[in-house]
Structure formats: C-alpha cells, structure tokens
A and B are shown apart, each in its own frame.
Chain A
Amino acid sequence: MNLSTNPGIWAQAICILAVYTYLYKDNPIWRFAETTYLGLATAYWFVFYFHNYIVVFVKDNVMQNGEWHYILAIILGLMIFFRYVPSLAWLARYPMSFWVGFGTGYVLGFAPAVWLTQVRTSFIALNSVENVLIVIGILATLTYFFFTIAKENPVVGGIAEVGKWYIMIALGSAFGNTVLYRWNLFLSRANTIIVDWLGVTP
C-alpha cells in the first residue's frame, strides 16, 4: 500500500466516498457533495461558455469583423431573462418560440433521411430464421402501438401480444446492459480509490 500524495486524487477519493454514502441512506455528507458538484459544474459551464464563445464571438465576429447581425441573436437570447420581470414575462416567449420553430424545421429537414434508411433496411429477405424473427418483431411491435384499432379483435390482439413480448425482451436487454454499465462506472471509481488513492497494486 502506497497512499497517494496527490491532492487531486485525495479530492476525487473523498468526493467518491461522500457520494456513495447515499447508498446507505440520505445524509449531510452526500448532500454536501451533491451541492458542491452542482455549484462547481454550473460555474464551470458559465465560465467556459463565456470565455470560449460569447467573448470570442463579440470580440472577433462583432467588433473586429463587423458582423453586427450577431447582436440580434444576443438580444433575442437575453430576452429569456424577461421571465423574471412578471409584467414583461410575455417577452420571454419570443426566444422560446423562435427556438422551437427553428428546431422543428431543422429536425424535419434532416432527420427523415436517417429514419427512412432505417425503414428501408427493415425490408429484408425472409431467407433465415433471424430475418423472419426481425420482420415478425417489427410488424407485431407496430401493431401493439396501433391504438386506433381495437385490441379486442382476436387477430389484432394476438399480434399485439406478440409485440408486447418483443418489447419486454428489448426492455430486459436494455435493463441488463444498464445494470452492467452502472457497475462498470463503479469499477472505474473503485480503481480510483484502491489503485490511485490507496496505492494497492492488483
């Protein structure tokens, strides 16, 4: 055992242990770690965006290159803060509505190509058991989500039931992967505690 002398590693180890105390129960140590993290993360994001984007754009694009139209975007963005002034709060809806409208049009312009490729590649030759199972899965799962057709119909209901099983298997797979992922995260933190901090060599 060779305890680390690096203050950064000590800070990491103490924060990791503080956060994991939550697994026992909610406690002040955990809350201290949580609020410290949130405060640090918020400050980090603010400083990062301010220095790496806002300052750069204002200094280079607006002041040096004379691209004054960026000021309109800045004004629009700042209007979001009107929500803190009750009498003018309605003005905060303009940047939001602009953003939602822009986002909707933007996504509709690009996303269908990706989806259509997915749809196209689901039309596969029924020349193997795997392919047959895939096609049955697609049709049955889609049937499950046809809420406009009464599931009391035995044929539709039966197909939807098969779809439900496919969904359950997919969710089970996702759950298993999620559990393993979480343990992998723990493994990485355990490595920080045992190897980096305590200096125990496997």
Chain B
Amino acid sequence: MEKLMKIDRRIIYIIGVCVVVFTMLYPIGLPVKISDLARQTYAAVENLPDGSLVIISPMYDAGAMGELHPMFTVFFYHAAKRGYKIVVVNTSWVQGPQLVHPIAEEIAKEFGLVYGEDWINLGSKPGGSVFLQAAVTDLWGAALTDYTNRPIASFPIMNRVPKITAEFVNACLVLDCGTPGAPTWLTYVNEPENIPLIVGEIQMSVPENMPYVASGQYKGMIAGSRGCAEYELLVGRPGKAIKAQDTMSSIALLITLFIVLGNIGYLTTKKK
C-alpha cells in the first residue's frame, strides 16, 4: 500500500495524456444533459428585446482561450443570430480582443453582419476598473479607437452607444478568468448602472462565482467547459466544448480514481 503513496507524478501525467489523446481521437459520445443554469443563461440572452445592443468582453489572454474561446463563440453566435448589435471590448487583458477577432469575423460573415454598423471590436483598453468607470460616463472618450486604431466616431454603431449605461446597453456578456473580470464589471458598471450581466467562467472560478448567480447579480453563467457544451446544444451550434466532454468526463473519472487510491494508501499507512 505504501507504493500508492509514492507513485511517480510523471506516471500519472502519462496516463492522463493517454486518456486525453485516446478520447480525442476516438470520441465515445457521452450524453450531455442540459442543466437549469445553462437554460437560465440561454434565456437571459435570448429574451433581450429585439434590436438590443450587447457588449461582449473577452477578459482573458491566451492562457484561458482553451475554455473561453468556445464561450465567446456561442455568445457571439447567439447575439448575432438574434440580430443584436455587438460591441467587443475589454480592459487589461491585452490579447483578448485580438484572439477573438477571427472568430467574430467568421460568425459575422455567416450572418452578413457589417463591421462598424452591426458589430465592432474596440480592442483592449488599459486601466481596468478606471477604464470601466470612465466608459460609464463617456465610452468614446475612454476607448478612443477601435481594434485597428481608427477613431470610433467613424463607425455608425458607436452612435448607439456613447456611454455604457442601461439607456444604451441592454446586457454585458463577460468572459472571465481572473482579475479584473466579471466581478469588476459588476462593481463598476452593471450594479451601479443596472445593466444585466451574464458571464462565462472558467471551470476553476465557478464555485467562487456561484453566489453572484444565487443573488441574481449575474443573470446567467456559462459554468466552465461543461456549461459551454450545454449552451452549444441550446443555441444549436455544437462546437469545441461538446467535443471536449468525452475527454473531460474520462479525466474526471481518472482523477477520482487517483484520489481514491491516494486516500486508501494514506489511510492504510496512517494505521501502521
């Protein structure tokens, strides 16, 4: 039993890698049941008034794109499908808007959306909470240019949103992997301005953000990769998150097995 306590971590890594690669190449097709939270999140986006303007904020860098790219895809796709005007902007996470731009362009092309009229990418703005607070009173002054450094006054869509208030913005869809993130938006924009906040969270941050859902401060939350897979089913566009579920379920099973074995080893050696 002592051997269980001394398994080389590299053996665990190799087994994990084998499971990931095998389930990726040979999908099992495990069923994905849609949770109430996913339905609530979907409804929060779906039930916005026709012609709404939404802000999608990819508050992440390359490190989190594995989980948050599929969430950006479903949010953008859903908003485009509903015919909402879309403003992509973030603060502090420099790479976010650059990373999501090709995805946005592809979906925009699919729906015939025109850049600058139906959607715009304002890029990443420095300042964190200071930028958000400034954008509440004057988005034009705070953002200055779009993703390609053109003055935002030259884009018709910006006439609809001079500042981020409930009068001009119907909802903020924030993809969050750290600080500043969704709670920052909540504190400086959504709570003071009473704008609905709907978030996408990496798996790791789900527990700490659940209280915001329970309190109604988040109108919905895509909870990790699994939540995104459910949202993909609801929106009718199966993507990367659905494909990942076989692997994630197998890995969860494997980790559980290792935890059980580790505890058996621990308890047995403790008795001795």
Q: Which residues of A contact B (CB under 8 A)?
A: 23-24, 44-45, 48-49, 51-53, 56, 60, 106, 110-111, 113-114, 117-118, 120-121, 170, 173-174, 176-181, 183-191, 194, 200, 202
How many Å from the CB of A21 to the closest CB on chain B? 11
How many Å from the CB of A37 to the closest CB on chain B? 10
Contact A183–B215 (Cβ < 8 Å):
no
Sorted nearest first, the 4 A-B pairs with minimum C-beta distance are A188-B66, A121-B215, A181-B203, A181-B204
A–B pairs, 29, beta carbons within 8 Å: A24-B10, A52-B123, A52-B126, A52-B145, A106-B130, A113-B187, A114-B183, A114-B217, A117-B191, A118-B215, A176-B255, A177-B203, A177-B206, A178-B204, A180-B248, A181-B204, A183-B247, A184-B66, A184-B67, A185-B63, A185-B67, A186-B17, A186-B20, A187-B20, A187-B66, A187-B247, A191-B24, A194-B24, A194-B25
Interface contact tally, CB-CB below 8 A: 121
Residues of the A chain whose Cβ atoms lie less than 8 Å from the Cβ of B248 = 180, 183-184, 187
A-contact 0/1 string along B69-103, CB 8 Å cutoff: 00000000000000000000000001000000000
Contact B251–A180 (Cβ < 8 Å):
yes
Question: Which chain B residue has the least Cβ–Cβ distance from A53?
Answer: B126
B94, B144, B188, B243: the one contacting A60 at CB < 8 Å is: B144
Residues of the B chain whose Cβ atoms lie less than 8 Å from the Cβ of A184 = 66-67, 203, 224-225, 244, 248
Residues of the A chain whose Cβ atoms lie less than 8 Å from the Cβ of B67 = 181, 184-185, 188
Question: Which chain B residue has the least Cβ–Cβ distance from A119?
Answer: B215
Contact A45–B66 (Cβ < 8 Å):
no
Residues of the B chain whose Cβ atoms lie less than 8 Å from the Cβ of A51 = 149
Residues of the B chain whose Cβ atoms lie less than 8 Å from the Cβ of A60 = 144
- The answer to whether the Cβ of B208 comes within 8 Å of any Cβ in the partner chain is yes
Contact B216–A121 (Cβ < 8 Å):
yes
- The answer to whether the Cβ of B192 comes within 8 Å of any Cβ in the partner chain is yes
Chain A binding surface SS class: helix
- Indicate the member of A110, A178, A183, A189 with the most B CB atoms within 10 Å: A183
Residues of the B chain whose Cβ atoms lie less than 8 Å from the Cβ of A185 = 63-64, 66-67
How many Å from the CB of B232 to the closest CB on chain A? 15
Question: Which chain A residue has the least Cβ–Cβ distance from B190?
Answer: A114
Residues of the A chain whose Cβ atoms lie less than 8 Å from the Cβ of B149 = 51-52
How far is A48 from B123 in the complex, measured between Cα atoms in Å?
11
How far is A186 from B170 in the complex, measured between Cα atoms in Å?
36
User: Could you tell me which residues of chain B, from 203 to 217, have a CB within 8 Å of some CB in chain A?
Assistant: 203-208, 211-212, 214-217
How many Å from the CB of B197 to the closest CB on chain A? 11
Residues of the A chain whose Cβ atoms lie less than 8 Å from the Cβ of B188 = 110
Known A-B contacts A24-B10, A56-B145, A181-B224; A170 and B207 likewise in contact (beta carbons under 8 Å) = yes
Contact B21–A45 (Cβ < 8 Å):
no
- The answer to whether the Cβ of B252 comes within 8 Å of any Cβ in the partner chain is yes
How far is A179 from B262 in the complex, measured between Cα atoms in Å?
16
Residues of the A chain whose Cβ atoms lie less than 8 Å from the Cβ of B162 = none
Question: Which chain A residue has the least Cβ–Cβ distance from B186?
Answer: A114
A110, A121, A176, A183: the one contacting B20 at CB < 8 Å is: A183
Contact A189–B144 (Cβ < 8 Å):
no
How far is A180 from B254 in the complex, measured between Cα atoms in Å?
11
Contact B215–A200 (Cβ < 8 Å):
no
Contact A194–B203 (Cβ < 8 Å):
no
Known A-B contacts A111-B187, A177-B206, A180-B252; A121 and B214 likewise in contact (beta carbons under 8 Å) = yes
